[in-house]
Chains A and B, each alone.
Chain A
Amino acid sequence: MKTIHYATIVEKVAALCGRAACDLPADVANELTEARAREKTEPGRAILTQCIENARIAAAERIPICQDTGFAVFFVELGQDVHIDGGLLVDAIAEGTARGYETGYLRKSIVADPLYDRKNTGTNTPPVIHLKLTAGDMVKITLAPKGAGSENVSAIRMFTPADGEKAIIDFVVDTVVRAGGNPCPPTVVGVGIGGTFEKAALMAKEALLRPLHSHNADRRYATLEKKMLDAINESSVGPQGFGGATTSFAVHIESFPCHMASLPVAVNMNCHAARHASVTL
């Protein structure tokens, strides 16, 4: 049994907030450079050049890549042999979020009531925490701050088994093309296929955390990822929706067994500032 102190988690989570907001993951940065090399349209090249320069300024001067520093979404892998001393894990993550957003000069974007008051909580809390119990005595905390521009174009549909592959491709491609410039393309597209209503949505979001150029382990789904990506990029939505070669950097599919009567499919997107950062304790 390993003991991790509440205060340690608060401190590590606070640091994670600043890192996630200012440091573009290296795989995404590489994709921006490659996309610029491929891009033939003048607005597209100008936009990708700005994105690359933006990432450089953000990292060097510790300015958030995007002013929408997002909803703080955490994926936590908690080893069963870990004891958290001094308080609840979820409270420590919330406290770390509030501290990280305050000390990091990150924007607080969360309103307390979704429909009526819409008053800012002033702390960017509560966070959304997805907890997974694992073997061992480690805790891995991943923060994926989620901006609203890309979150707002998400979609879910409950297909039936008879609908098949083509209907699913059309749904995913159509969701990305209809979103146009709103989610700040080039995007990363996460797709959850199977499970239940909420499981499909969660898989779509988790898929966004995969390294770019990673493929689904099942060859059939890896092929489907490529089919969807090709169709999306043939649409020519392009950087910021002005037309061009790269609408999405990648499509990542996660799948799960499902009920014999259902076939849920969820789509979640990340903008080109596909932010996430992890810490292991």
Chain B
Amino acid sequence: MTARSLSAGQQVLLSGTIYTARDAAHKRLYTLLREQRPLPIDLGGQTLYYTGPSPAKPGQVIGSAGPTTSSRMDPYTPLLIAAAGLRLMIGKGNRNTHVIEAMTKYGAVYCAATGGAGALLAKTIRTAEIVCYEDLGPEAIYKLSVERMPLIVAIDCRGGSLYQFEKE
């Protein structure tokens, strides 16, 4: 299944490889792109999950790992879609019009995970390794392999949105 075939409102179970990134990591990725320097990870066709997990206990893959508010990433997202090839984002809450324009132009999709369900979502994460920005602590970029992660397509690549009840 490709991201383009998804429609707002669909409930999906995601399996595969995704990367985490939130505020501080976005700022670094964005700065590199602006300066036309290479990124530490190839985001072409990839998925970013906006999360800063809690630490793993001994024997755990990861701690609690639910989504953070996506709109804080909005200033950085259009460039990540346009210049780095980002195609799927996972977070919570609405996105601004610049992000939605970039999504429709390049065929990217935004899915919501349930905010505040970090324990449940952690159970769908099979492996987790830090790939860069370890100095950022919980904001480091992790590579995760997930299995049947429950998501809802919140905004599709045609601009269809589940956030129809929200005021601009």
Q: Are A50 and B52 in contact (CB under 8 A)?
A: no
Please report whether the interface of chain A is mostly helix, strand, loop or mixed according to DSSP. Answer: loop
Least CB distance from A72 to B in Å reads 14
Q: Interface size on A (CB < 8 Å)? A: 49
> Which listed residue, B24, B63, B94, B118, touches A181 by the CB 8 Å rule?
B94
> Which listed residue, A50, A57, A67, A149, touches B63 by the CB 8 Å rule?
A67
Q: Contacts A46-B152, A106-B54 hold; do A241 and B166 have CB atoms under 8 A apart?
A: yes
Q: Are A243 and B165 in contact (CB under 8 A)?
A: yes
Chain A 39-53 interface residues, beta-carbon cutoff 8 Å to B: 42-43, 46-47, 50-51, 53
Q: Which residues of A contact B55 (CB under 8 A)?
A: 105-107
Q: Are B94 and A241 in contact (CB under 8 A)?
A: yes
Q: Contacts A237-B165, A242-B152 hold; do A65 and B118 have CB atoms under 8 A apart?
A: yes
Least CB distance from A272 to B in Å reads 5
Is B53 an interface position by the 8 A CB rule? yes
Q: Are B9 and A54 in contact (CB under 8 A)?
A: no
Q: What are the interface flags for B81-97 relative to A under an 8 Å C-beta threshold, 1 for contact and 0 otherwise?
A: 00000000000111000
Chain A 227-281 interface residues, beta-carbon cutoff 8 Å to B: 235-238, 240-243, 271-273
Q: Which residues of A contact B68 (CB under 8 A)?
A: 68, 148-149
Q: Contacts A66-B64, A105-B63 hold; do A54 and B92 have CB atoms under 8 A apart?
A: no
Chain A 206-243 interface residues, beta-carbon cutoff 8 Å to B: 235-238, 240-243
Q: What are the interface flags for B69-108 relative to A under an 8 Å C-beta threshold, 1 for contact and 0 otherwise?
A: 1010000000000000000000011100000000000000
Least CB distance from B161 to A in Å reads 10
Q: Are A54 and B117 in contact (CB under 8 A)?
A: yes
- Stretch of B30-38, B40-48, B119-127 contacting A (4+ beta carbons < 8 Å): B119-127
Known: A66-B118, A107-B53. 18 other contacts (CB 8 A): A43-B152, A47-B152, A50-B120, A54-B116, A54-B118, A63-B63, A64-B54, A65-B64, A106-B54, A107-B138, A108-B137, A120-B138, A148-B68, A149-B93, A180-B163, A181-B163, A240-B114, A242-B152
